Amino acid sequence: MNKKTFGFIIAVLLIGTMIVIMVKSNTDTTKPIDNYLLNQEFNSSGDESGLKKGEIPPDFELSTVSGEVVKLSDLKGKKVVLNFWASWCGPCKAEMPHMQKYYKKNKDSENVEIIAVNMTTTEKRGLKGIEEFITAYGLTFPVPLDEQGTVMEDYQIIPIPTTYMIGTDGKVNQKIVGPMDEKTLKELVKNLD
């Protein structure tokens, strides 16, 4: 075995060991995700695609797994957390327990609605996989399905999760790229008008 192969094997073993240790030590799925977003400017991700602060987001009408129709314009007057996700997305999986916990505690008192649009055209396991995800994470907020990919296209969603914070005036207040924890979500919603 040459030195390069041996070095590669050692590196893989070290990385694998570190991953196992991190997974075992992180059994609480609601452990805070980096809170750096609170101190960042609008769309701090460097992703310049999509909607800008102050724009009115394109309206859409999508159905959930259960057949409920969700129309964005019907939510004007509420604070809206408009999240785009997929069941295969690791960061999406990390943020969903935080979103559910926040929603359960604050949906009525904060006049807020979480709409988690599933990017259905990217799903490998189809509707069954989405239903299993919703059940596994105990999601109670609306999860509309973008089955044609048109909403994803209209909002120019590239990295996921991507979340738009929409104020009661129906305008985009902020765009977040990446996962959020409950504390970050609470602060961002608090700053909406």
Rounded CA gap, 60 and 144, in Å? 10
Q: Give 103-131 pLDDT, tens digit per residue.
A: 999 998 999 999 999 999 999 999 999 99
Rounded CA gap, 130 and 80, in Å? 22
Quote the domain boundaries for residue 82.
34-190
Same domain, 44 and 118: yes
Q: What angle do CA 96, 98, 104 make, to 5 degrees?
A: 100
Q: Give 85-106 pLDDT, tens digit per residue.
A: 999 999 999 999 999 999 999 9
The total of structural domains in the chain comes to: 2
Same domain, 94 and 133: yes
Give the DSSP H or E segment for 133: helix 126-136
Q: Are strands 172-177 and 112-118 parallel, antiparallel or unpaired?
A: unpaired
- Quote the pLDDT of residue 39: 40
pLDDT of 26 > 60? The answer is no
Instruction: State the Cα torsion 89-92-96-102 to the nearest 10°.
Output: -170
User: Bridge-partner residues for 63, per DSSP?
Assistant: 69
Same domain, 42 and 109: yes
Q: What is the mean pLDDT of residues 174-192?
A: 95
**Band of pLDDT at residue 193, cut at 50, 70 and 90:** confident
Q: What is the mean pLDDT of residues 176-191?
A: 95
Same domain, 24 and 100: no
Sheet holding 172-177, edge to edge: 112-118, 79-85, 162-166, 172-177
Same domain, 82 and 25: no
Of the two residues 10 and 74, the one the predictor is more confident about is 74
**Between the CA of residue 173 and those of 118, 123, 154, 165, what are the distances in Å?**
21, 29, 17, 5
